[in-house]
Amino acid sequence: MAGNFFPVNRKVLDKLIAHFRPDQWAKPIIAYLVLCKHQQRGKPYTTAGSLAIAKVLGITRYRAEELIRELEKVQWGEASHERAIVNHRVLKNQPEMGCPHTIGLFPVKALPRISEDCIWLPNRILEEKDGNPPPLRRLTAIQPVSDRYDTLSLLLHCYAYHDVEGSGGLDPRQTFYAPWCHEGSCLEDEGRLGYQGAQKDGREKWHFWLVSKTDEMSATKSFIETVTEGDSDRFFQAVHHLKELGFLIEVAMVFDRDPLTSPSAEPLYPLRIFDALYRENAKELDNGTGGLYGETFNCLDRSALMEETVGDFRYTIFQSYEYGGEASGFYVVAGTVKTATVLSVYRLRFCAHDRDTGIGFQAEADRAGHWKERLDQAFR
């Protein structure tokens, strides 16, 4: 499809995942995605075939033809169009399907849809760049094959819940997230994690917390059920693979209230994005989306709230930096509401460059810029 993204019917994708799950076979599903990527202007048919599949997967055309034949076996009804792929020979005798059986000299494959519900995938995951193979091919090297299948299933299911505008990434209410620690000691027992109190700056009251990242992860029961048949060990192993292969970026996001209990919760700003390249780009552009962890700390330091408990707060934290690291182990959260909450959400590195994604990243840039200005001006 022309552009930077392509549609995949969610119900058909569910059928494919269910069909190939007994054999834990990932390559036919990737082959189907390749065909979808080459749809004719978003319409459910394509002239692409074994050559395109072989190029993406790094296999022979003979092997790619076998994958196409396996896809042709996936059907959900008796009608000729109720299957994953309808070949040109069937199309020739089925004009009512509305698909040409050839375009020029090239035979057409129809890709019927069960409903109007589609996910939008970025072309980039199936394209080479700078001599490197397509990102999705990385998944085919995962061992054992059961992990490979689960990881592909997880990645594809994630695209339906990627909402940068509403939650900063994958919706934690419906997918998975990492909680942050608000309890325990810090600064060699001089300080405590959690709510530190409030200070008034003019007519505005600022609330502050010290929080620490944990190694814990949580996921909704329904999402684990959908992706790995309810097996949480398999699920979190798949998350690990996606993180290791660079498909997920962890984002510490500050919300105005707990998004797990309040459907009206909205993201305020990213506290930190755990991706060095992303942070460097944000720093270069000075757009604040690299995470406002420096701004929140400086705001707390200027408020003088910590003077009674930690003494020289700034020196105590930053003395370790001369040895080359961020050794404090905690971050500062600052907000004008006492209900502010921080947790890690996960963001897909490869996003469909569609209208929704554009709205989401613009909303985050606007929010981060707004809070960067407010934090910088507080307690001056």
126 touches 136 (CB < 8 A): yes
Q: Which of 326, 256, 322 is nearest to 293 (CA)?
A: 326
Q: Please provide residue 66's backbone torsions phi and psi, each rounded to the nearest 5 degrees.
A: -65, -40
| Per-residue model confidence (pLDDT) at position 322 | 54
pTM of the model: 0.91
- Please give the residue that has the higher pLDDT: either 230 or 1: 230
Tokens in use for 131?
A: 């001599």
269 touches 292 (CB < 8 A): yes
Give per-residue pLDDT as tens, 91-103: 888 887 888 898 9
Any residues with CB less than 8 A from the CB of 235 and at least 6 apart, and which?
150, 154, 176, 219, 223, 224, 227, 228
297 touches 209 (CB < 8 A): no
Give per-residue pLDDT as tens, 40-53: 887 899 999 999 99
CA distance 173 to 168: 12
Answer yes or no: is pLDDT of 2 > 60. Answer: no
Tokens in use for 219?
A: 């996921």
| Per-residue model confidence (pLDDT) at position 93 | 83
The letter for the amino acid at 377 is: Q
Give per-residue pLDDT as tens, 298-342: 999 899 998 877 767 776 666 655 555 555 678 899 999 999 999
250 touches 344 (CB < 8 A): yes
Any residues with CB less than 8 A from the CB of 249 and at least 6 apart, and which?
169, 273, 274, 275, 278, 346, 347, 348, 349
Give per-residue pLDDT as tens, 52-95: 999 999 999 999 999 999 999 999 998 888 999 999 888 888 88
Per-chain mean pLDDT for the chain? 91
CB atoms within 10 A of CB 99: 23
| Per-residue model confidence (pLDDT) at position 100 | 86
Q: Please provide residue 363's backbone torsions phi and psi, each rounded to the nearest 5 degrees.
A: -65, -40
From residue 43, how far is each of 36, 48, 242, 301 by CA, in Å? 9, 13, 30, 57
Q: Using CB atoms within 10 A of its CB, is residue 321 exposed (0-12), middle (13-18) or buried (19+)?
A: exposed
